[in-house]
Amino acid sequence: FVESPKNFPILGNDSRDFFAMATHNVHSCEFEVFGRVQGVNFRRHALRKAKTLGLRGWCMNSSRGTVKGYIEGRPAEMDVMKEWLRTTGSPLSSIEKVEFSSQRERDRYGYANFHIKPDPHENRPVHEGLGSSSSHHDSN
């Protein structure tokens, strides 16, 4: 008696089996990159690298002149991204050092993809007419 392969379910009868497989062995950590990393397309290159590796999370410019971020994914791909952050970056960047938080194991992804967060010090709304004598407007 030989059963045909179509009788053997690959993922079981429950779609949650696929989700469990997809989130198995997810790790995460935060990072901060120091050096000449703002104004040199560092975040855009980090986004491309993270997406190529299938990592999720975010990065952003900080008010301290660094690039901060959070990555989550499989440990092997995270190791590749960490090395890229330490040694490669964007073509015009100059990396002095990178600090990583402890890598933690997670039971599921926290983000659907990797994205760039807006700068905290750019595009702030201008509140006019509030009577503040210290506010000013740049006219470029």
Q: Could you give all domains of the chain from N- to C-terminal order, each with its CATH number? A: 25-116 (3.30.70.100)
Q: Which of 7, 13, 25, 43 is catalytic?
A: 43
Q: Are 46 and 67 in contact (CB under 8 A)?
A: yes
Q: Which of 56, 61, 64, 140 is catalytic?
A: 61
pLDDT of residue 25: 86
Catalytic residue check, 61: yes
* Predicted local confidence at residue 125, as pLDDT: 53
Is 48 catalytic? The answer is no
Arithmetic mean of pLDDT over the chain: 80
Position 28 scores a pLDDT of: 97
| Tens-digit pLDDT profile for residues 77-134 | 999 999 999 999 999 999 999 999 999 999 999 999 999 999 876 655 554 444 444 4
| Structure-token pair, residue 136 | 């000013």
Least confident of 15-19, 20-24, 116-120: 15-19
% the chain with pLDDT above 90: 66
Q: Which pair of tokens denotes residue 77?
A: 């791909």
User: For residue 31, what are its two tokens?
Assistant: 């990072």
